[in-house]
Amino acid sequence: MIFDLIISVFLVIAGIFGLVGSYGLVKLPDLMTRLHAPTKASTLGVGGALLASMGLALKQGSLSWHELLITLFLFLTAPITCNFIAKAWIARNADPAILPPTGTHRTWATLDLTEEPIEPVLTPPGKPGRPS
């Protein structure tokens, strides 16, 4: 009975997050706000459904690696994809004057291969940010 209740809770959570994520994807006004819906809410919705599926498989006496691997893949790739989409949008649409300063001659979050690459500088031991 308790196991069925836990599986049901995961399914209800999955449904709520899936509904909120889908609604946000349709109703939010622009790309940068729309990114939050699928990467946050819908990811948790699909994750909840996969956890319920794994729980049901465990209840029936088997271990399901497929759902576990799908869940791990989803939780690892959704934030990275969101980050790439946001950086591409910023590179195409944002005015460089409003972006935060980088401390270099390059603009924020872009890669410019037309110039000499910036060589990394190692901090000597005993300096801040490096263990002695």
pLDDT digit string, tens, across residues 8-20: 999 999 999 989 8
- DSSP three-state, residue 122: coil
pLDDT tens digits for 64-114? 788 888 888 888 888 888 888 888 888 788 777 777 777 666 666 555 556
Give the Cα-Cα-Cα angle 118, 119, 120 (nearest 5 degrees): 115
103: left (phi over 0), alpha (psi -120 to 50) or beta: left
Q: Which residue did the predictor score with more confidence, 104 or 4?
A: 4
Q: Give every CB contact of residue 31 below 8 A, 6+ residues apart in sequence.
A: 85, 89
